[in-house]
Structure 1
Amino acid sequence: MTRAGLPPESIGLVSALTSAGICWCLACGGPMLSHYGPVRTLQIALACIALGLFALLWPFGLLGLLGAVAIGFGAGHNTPAGSQILVRAAPPRHRTLIFSIKQAGVPLGGALAGLMMAPLVLAQGLPAALGTVIGVALLTILLVQPFRGQLDQDRGKGRRDWARALLSLAMLAHSIRTLRAHPSLPLLTILGASFSVLQSCLMAFTATYAITRHGASLAEAGQIVAVMQGASMVGRILLGWLADRMGHALRHLAFQAVASALAVGLLVTLGDRGSWALYGCAALVGVTAIGWNGVHMAELARVAPLPLVGDVTSAASLFGFVGSVCGPLVFTLVVSWSGSYDLAFLLMAGQLALLGLASAAFLRRVN
């Protein structure tokens, strides 16, 4: 932002435009995925990210903001395209585990970026750091090319006017209508949005909570968040394996919603009993409240009609993304009104617990 002559707080505008790009992709990118196939779409997405990062290298504010939209648009393709690949390639008896391993790559990639980028920026400067990321993106485009023929066999079956669909409000309505394609999809979507509300609050406020409520140092707060993130990677794989063994992922998610709320309750009530209790509760929260994504994505892909897997996961992810934006906003309002992080965390956990219990009761009545 300084390079573009903008104040440092303008980074919030970059973040907002990146989020807008993600929403744009999830709402209107379905025809593009159907037309090109998942591998080619991911290659285009990586090219968009590389182009967006390149735009951030130049000292022109407007160009950088457009680059932020391009980065978001590219990032938004990851979930629907990945789901379309895995639902065809993963053996049914291990589908949830494989989806969960894929989702475990998200926090792993974030951790690696955090470990590598800061030293690189300090040693070589921001242009060199962004150039490295651009190089990785372009190299990945080349490395996945040999797999395109095998994994993009259904390409070309979507709309040829996919570019026009990117600017169509009707496409947004169509994307949402795909959630009627199976009776379980509305409940799965609501559960995903509810999980996203709690997860986004945990990711945004746990470090601040540890400092203000438990007197942790800045370094210790960072370590607590790192433990929570690391536990979530393990949790995603463990819970994916467990969901495959249980054989009913939607019921598993309902139980996990309640378990996540209980874990947050333990964090609030036991976190002041020493650093080990705080670390242990943070790990438990990571496993339960942040380890849900793989099971959720696998179940969305399983129940969706095969031609609509990309559209369904896009639409469900869009609602989840809205939850991840609204959750921290509500959390902030609760803290501002009450002065209590404990109350805010319990409210965010409570909405998930109530939905989990309601889902379990509904599933029992249906079955």
Structure 2
Amino acid sequence: MKVPIWASALAGTLLVQTVCSFASISVPLLGPPLMARAGLAPESIGLVSAISSAGICWFLACGGAMLNHHGPIRTLQMGMACMALGVLVLSQPLGLLGLLGALAIGFGNGPNTPAGSQILIRSAPPAHRTLIFSIKQAGVPLGGALAGLIVAPFVLAHGLSATLAMIIAVLLVCCVVVEGFRKTLNGEKGPGEPRWARALIEPAAMMRCVSALRAHPSLPMLTAVGTSFSLMQACLTAFTATFVYAHHGASLAEAGQVVALMQGASMFGRIILGWLADRMGNALRHLGLQAIISAVAVSLMAMVGGHDPWLMYGSAALVGFTAIGWNGVHIAELARVAPLPLVSSVTSASSLFGFVGSVCGPLFFMMLVSWGGGYEVAFHVMAAQLACFGLVCLFAKRR
């Protein structure tokens, strides 16, 4: 029986999304031993997360020519190879030079959203488009959950260096596996652009990317609420494990279990909320309501986490379902309203602003903690900004 093209596209993009998420989320999970090796405070992992997000921004701003030249599958393969190189550099005792590894990890993770959207928008049945995009985006929390369950025990059993080597091997194996999808999806390749490498350092490429957001009047509001969600998600990804480990005295394995539960709940959240958005038919209002509920969930986790382990697990699951379960609905709506030739450009441009938030969020969070506000205050501040954007999004008049 012939496999439908949308099923093949979903399988390939989901696999890559899961593996890249596993690799990128493993880094903050390894934050305490990585920062201890570097002689830095535990909250300094926020700097690594911020630089990694800057690498994603770099690709989203300037990587369109690379995507057009090589096609989505080959670009995803090149991205995973770049992530493997970044993990290798980050694992070496190179001091500040090692932060270039975080930049490479982010750049390699960058193609997932625009390349995945370019593949799926042409193959997903319109009636189930949001659900299919949400299933693909469920690879992010699935990879995170696997990281939370696997990384800490692997560190305890084999050490930090062996764990980093395992992450590199997973990335390289996936590069080989997805080669089988390249023939099926080769029709998605755009026109050749021999100057794609030069475009990576051209400011004009960034301006062309951002200008794509003029293609539809809903795109600025969608971008704004997506940026707010991205800021919140970046802080949760970067600091939840350290919050549980350093602030509440849990073990590294227990911190990994909390992160795994959060990411697992997010996986189900993305799928269920994607199905719900298809039924409601108003994604912008859906995202506004979800932002408000997410803000309440994050504040609840910050308040009750230290009182009882079960409250921590319960609130972490709620946070995962809501605050990290937004991405599939958002990307599907971006792809829906964008003109078909501009789907990857619009997705890249909107995601660029989101990852700028991912750069700024952990840095601001780290400053709040360092200045004596503590983790609770920092989480409340991040939740407040998300609630404000949710209210604006919920009551905004669509033109």
* TM-score bucket of the superposed structures, by smaller chain: 0.7 to 0.9
Partner residue in 2 for 1:217: 250
Counterpart among 348, 351, 355 of residue 317 in structure 1:
351
TM-score w.r.t. structure 2 length? 0.78
Counterpart among 222, 241, 244 of residue 275 in structure 2:
241
Partners of 1:123 and 1:211 lie apart in 2 by 19
Deviations 1:99-129 (Å, cap 9, x if unpaired)?
Answer: 1111121122233234444555565566654
In the alignment, is the contact (CA less than 8 A) between 2:53 and 2:358 conserved in 1? no
Deviation at 1:196, TM superposition (A): 1.5
Partner residue in 2 for 1:351: 385
Relative to structure 1, the CA distance from residue 167 to residue 329 in structure 2 (aligned partners, 3 Å threshold; closer, same or farther) is closer
Deviation at 1:40, TM superposition (A): 1.5
Deviations 1:265-314 (Å, cap 9, x if unpaired)?
Answer: 44355557744444322222211111111111111111122222222222
Deviations 1:141-185 (Å, cap 9, x if unpaired)?
Answer: 332223223323142425332111111011111111111111111
Partners of 1:340 and 1:133 lie apart in 2 by 32
The question of 1:160 aligning with 2:194 is answered yes
Deviation at 1:29, TM superposition (A): 0.2
Query: Equivalent residues in 2 for 1:228-307 (5 A)?
Result: 228-268=262-302, 274-307=308-341
TM-score w.r.t. structure 1 length? 0.84
Helix, strand or coil for the counterpart of 2:189?
Answer: coil
Helix, strand or coil for the counterpart of 1:330?
Answer: helix
Relative to structure 1, the CA distance from residue 249 to residue 124 in structure 2 (aligned partners, 3 Å threshold; closer, same or farther) is same
Partner residue in 2 for 1:145: 179
Partners of 1:40 and 1:125 lie apart in 2 by 33
Partner residue in 2 for 1:87: 121
Aligned AA for 2:134?
Answer: S
In the alignment, is the contact (CA less than 8 A) between 2:149 and 2:257 conserved in 1? no
Query: Equivalent residues in 2 for 1:33-44 (5 A)?
Result: 33-44=67-78
Deviations 1:293-337 (Å, cap 9, x if unpaired)?
Answer: 111111111112222222222221221112122223333444455
In the alignment, is the contact (CA less than 8 A) between 2:266 and 2:325 conserved in 1? yes
The question of 1:169 aligning with 2:217 is answered no
Helix, strand or coil for the counterpart of 2:184?
Answer: helix
Greater mean alpha carbon deviation, residues 36-45 or residues 321-330: 321-330
Partner residue in 2 for 1:111: 145
- The alignment yields a C-alpha RMSD, in angstroms, of 3.3
Partners of 2:169 and 2:245 lie apart in 1 by 37
In the alignment, is the contact (CA less than 8 A) between 2:50 and 2:358 conserved in 1? no
**Unaligned regions of 5+ residues in structure 2, if any?**
1-32
Relative to structure 1, the CA distance from residue 8 to residue 77 in structure 2 (aligned partners, 3 Å threshold; closer, same or farther) is farther
In the alignment, is the contact (CA less than 8 A) between 2:92 and 2:98 conserved in 1? yes
Aligned AA for 1:217?
Answer: A
**Unaligned regions of 5+ residues in structure 1, if any?**
none
In the alignment, is the contact (CA less than 8 A) between 1:32 and 1:158 conserved in 2? no
Relative to structure 1, the CA distance from residue 61 to residue 257 in structure 2 (aligned partners, 3 Å threshold; closer, same or farther) is closer
Counterpart among 213, 218, 230 of residue 184 in structure 1:
218
In the alignment, is the contact (CA less than 8 A) between 1:35 and 1:158 conserved in 2? yes
Deviations 1:79-98 (Å, cap 9, x if unpaired)?
Answer: 11111111112111111111
Identity of aligned residues (%): 62
Relative to structure 1, the CA distance from residue 167 to residue 333 in structure 2 (aligned partners, 3 Å threshold; closer, same or farther) is closer
Aligned AA for 1:264?
Answer: V
Partner residue in 2 for 1:198: 232
Aligned AA for 1:140?
Answer: C
Relative to structure 1, the CA distance from residue 62 to residue 200 in structure 2 (aligned partners, 3 Å threshold; closer, same or farther) is closer
Bigger Cα Rg: 1
The question of 1:72 aligning with 2:106 is answered yes
Greater mean alpha carbon deviation, residues 276-285 or residues 54-63: 54-63
Partners of 2:337 and 2:131 lie apart in 1 by 16
Partners of 2:235 and 2:100 lie apart in 1 by 28
Partners of 2:283 and 2:384 lie apart in 1 by 21
Aligned AA for 2:258?
Answer: I
